[in-house]
Amino acid sequence: MVQATITFISGGARSGKSAYAERLLTNQPAGRHVYIASGVAADEEMKQRIDQHKEDRRHANWHTIEQPKNLHEVMPFLKPGDLVLWDCLTTWLANEMYEGYEEGTPCVSRLGCLEQKQGKLLRTIKQMKEIVSHLVIVSNEVLDEWPQYEEETEIYRRTIGKLHQQIVEFADHAIEMDHGIPIVWKGEHL
C-alpha cells in the first residue's frame, strides 16, 4: 500500500508558509487539490486574512473544506490521490482548546480533554496518510522566547510544541519558513 507524503511547514506570522504550501501542491498536477481551512473570522483582522487566503486560491481550483475543529470529520470527503493542504494546526488547537467556552466549560479546563483531542488528531493524520497522495500541514511557530506566560497560554505553547514534535516524527519533510525562504530540517528540498 502506498502511503501519502507528509510535509510539515512551520514558521512565524507572515513568513510565507501558506503560499509555499499552496505552490508545493499546485505544482503536482495529478490529484484533486483540497484545502482544509481551520480559521474562524472572530475579529476583523482574521476575517481579512481568511478573505485574502480565499482570494489567493480562487483561480487555483481548490476544493475547500471549512473545518475549524474535529478534523476527523473531513475523512468522508477525502478521495484516494488527493493533494491536501491543512491550514493551520495552531488555529485548530486554539479552536479546540476553547470548545465548550460558551457553556462555561472550555476543553482547556476539563481534565484530559486536550489530550483526547491530540490523540484523535494524530490518529486522523495517520488515517489521511492511508488515503491521500500528499498531505501538507501548516503551523505557526509561536511564543518561543517569553520567560513566563499565563496558565492557558503556557498550556497552548506546550501543546503546540508537543504536536509539532509528534507530527515531524512521522512526517517525510519538515520545513521552516523564514522571510519567505524554506529551510529544510527533514527530508530533501521540495
CATH code at 86?
A: 3.40.50.300
> How many H helices and E strands in the chain?
5, 7
Give per-residue pLDDT as tens, 63-112. Answer: 999 999 999 999 999 999 999 999 999 999 999 999 998 888 999 999 99
Burial 123-138 (b: 16+ CB within 10 A, else e): ebbeebbebbbbbbbb
With bands split at pLDDT 50, 70 and 90, how would you rate the model's confidence at 39?
confident
Give per-residue pLDDT as tens, 25-35. Answer: 998 878 899 99
Question: Structure pTM?
Answer: 0.89
Domain count, the chain: 1
**Cα–Cα distance list, 184 to 8, 92, 142 (Å):** 10, 24, 19
Taking a C-beta distance cutoff of 8 angstroms, is the pair 17, 10 a contact? yes
Q: 87: domain range?
A: 5-186
Print the SS3 string covering 71-122.
HHHHHHHCCCCCEEEEECHHHHHHHHHCCCHHHCCCHHHCCCHHHHHHHHHH
Mean pLDDT, rounded, of the chain: 88
